């Protein structure tokens, strides 16, 4: 190949690499920006729906007309798949007020595009066992982007129709994606009978990779009726 041919080849190669770089940058911009826009819209819509539902009179237990469940009693029936049923607050990382996230029932791809998802079959807020919630860390609103900043004792608050459930972080760990035992009612022991009320958050680790899972485990500290006001964790007391 002549010198002119080499220069032509290198020039063409350089232009091709620049084009590929632009394509990759545009794809990254789409993944980060446009997926966030989609999720934010879904969250706003779901928040309006759930708050509208909560504003309606609470359903009465079957067979006991005219009575209402205790405000601190865990939900007895699982939410409908794909529906929002709670809000998750994490004061340490700024997930409060308008930035609190709606939690949906289900962890399919479409569910997690809308926000954090509750693993069907795991405990519900306030129940004995292990409530497991998964969320994206870098795209689709990245609700769990900063959960690595949580410290032991930090509050994770779940808001339901009538109750504030305040959990406190007790452990943070990094595991393989195949380490499903962190989701057991008694983490690490499939056959044990649960006695604690746990909350487990899972997300990808490190950021922009699915090589590992970051797992945060918290234990229920208190259940406060919403009629009594905000819990201390959301009032600047021990957040």
Residues classed as catalytic: 136, 204, 213
Q: How far apart are CA 108 and CA 184, in angstroms?
A: 19
Q: How far apart are CA 105 and CA 114, in angstroms?
A: 11
Residues in the chain: 239
Q: How far apart are CA 112 and CA 130, in angstroms?
A: 19
Burial of residue 25 (CB within 10 Å: 0-12, 13-18, 19+) is: exposed
């Amino acid at each position: 190949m002549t010198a002119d041919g080499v220069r032509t080849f290198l020039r063409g190669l350089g232009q091709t690499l620049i084009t590929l770089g632009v394509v990759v940058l545009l794809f990254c911009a789409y993944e980060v920006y446009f997926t966030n826009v989609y999720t934010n819209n879904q969250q706003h819509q779901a928040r309006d729906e759930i708050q509208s539902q909560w504003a309606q009179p609470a359903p009465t237990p079957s067979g006991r007309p005219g009575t209402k469940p205790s405000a601190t009693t865990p939900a007895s029936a699982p939410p409908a798949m794909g529906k929002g049923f709670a809000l998750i607050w994490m004061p340490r990382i700024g997930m409060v007020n308008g930035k609190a996230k709606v939690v949906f029932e289900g962890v399919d791809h479409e569910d997690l595009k809308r926000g954090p998802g509750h693993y069907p079959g795991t405990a519900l807020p306030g129940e004995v066992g292990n409530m497991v919630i998964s969320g994206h860390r870098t795209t689709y609103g990245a609700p769990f982007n900063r959960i690595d900043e949580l410290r032991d004792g930090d509050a994770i608050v779940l808001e339901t129709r009538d109750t504030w459930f305040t959990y406190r972080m007790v452990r943070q760990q990094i595991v393989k994606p195949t380490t499903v035992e962190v989701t057991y009612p008694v983490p690490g022991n499939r056959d044990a009978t649960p006695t604690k009320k746990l909350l487990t958050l899972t997300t990808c680790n490190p950021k922009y990779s699915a090589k590992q899972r970051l797992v945060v485990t918290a234990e229920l500290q208190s259940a406060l009726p919403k009629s009594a006001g905000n819990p201390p964790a959301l009032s600047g007391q021990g957040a």
